[in-house]
Amino acid sequence: MSVYSFQAKLSNGEEISLETYKGKVMLIVNTASKCGFTPQYEGLEKLYETYKDNGFTIVGFPCNQFGGQEPGSNEEISSFCSLNYNVTFPIFQKIDVNGEKAHPLYQYLREKAPEDSDLDKSGSLYKLLRDKMPALLEGSNIRWNFTKFLIDQNGNVVNRFAPTTKPEDIAEDIKKLLVK
């Protein structure tokens, strides 16, 4: 099994198989429009523009499970991304990433990479979660918006990056996979 086993709906409602991205390095990100990490859209778009012609893509999955920071409709989210950050990578419909209603793709991602490889336990996000939302630190839960999963050309999960990881800090990992 790989990420290619899953389907999801783009923001326009079109259902596609992630097999569409077979042979590409992928960065799968749960996003939100009203989050302190929302400016990461800019870095994500820059990564996408830099490497898309070399077999790389980013897929964004809006999620409203973290402080209600993605309240808009799928159309509003898509418009926000385009107008504010010139996002051209695929944005999918809003999904849940934790809990009983978590999208099957995210259940799989959490199983394959249960921990953020670089979660700063002295950082403000960790302290907020520890003090106010400790359940998000349990098990394989997605900790917050902008958790990133790096996927190789065969659909395998390579790494999970914390929400605080800036997109540009993942560039070297992407380049290593693109060389193979």
Q: Which domain holds residue 34?
A: 3-172
- 3-class DSSP state for residue 161? strand
178 in any annotated domain? no
Closest to 78 measured CA to CA, from 102, 94, 64 = 94
Q: Which two tokens stand for residue 86?
A: 């010139």
Calpha distance 126→108 (Å, rounded): 23
Beta pairing partners, 52: none
Query: Domain for residue 88, yes or no?
Result: yes
Mean pLDDT over each residue of the chain, to the nearest integer: 95
Summarised one tens digit per residue, pLDDT across range 4-58 is 999 999 999 999 999 999 999 999 999 999 999 999 999 999 999 999 999 999 9
Q: Hey, how many other C-beta atoms are within 10 angstroms of the C-beta on 41?
A: 25
List the catalytic residues.
Answer: 35
Task: For residue 1, give both structure tokens.
Answer: 């099994």
Percent of the chain's residues with pLDDT above 70 = 99
CATH of the domain at 73: 3.40.30.10
What is the distance between the alpha carbons of residues 170 and 173, in angstroms, rounded to a whole number? 5
pLDDT score recorded for residue 121: 87
pTM attached to this predicted model: 0.96
The pLDDT of residue 140 is 94
Q: Is residue 72 part of a domain?
A: yes
Provide the token pair at 180: 């193979």
Query: pLDDT by residue (tens digit) across 83-94?
Result: 999 999 999 999
pLDDT number for residue 24: 97
Structure tokens at 55: 């077999």
Q: Is 70 exceeded by the pLDDT of residue 110?
A: yes
> In the structure, what pLDDT confidence band is assigned to residue 180 with cuts at 50, 70 and 90?
low
How far, in Å, are 16, 111, 115 from residue 4 at the CA level? 10, 15, 21
Domain count, the chain: 1
Cα–Cα distance, 132 to 126 (Å, whole number)? 10
Q: Is 110 within the bounds of a domain?
A: yes
Within-domain flag for 179: no
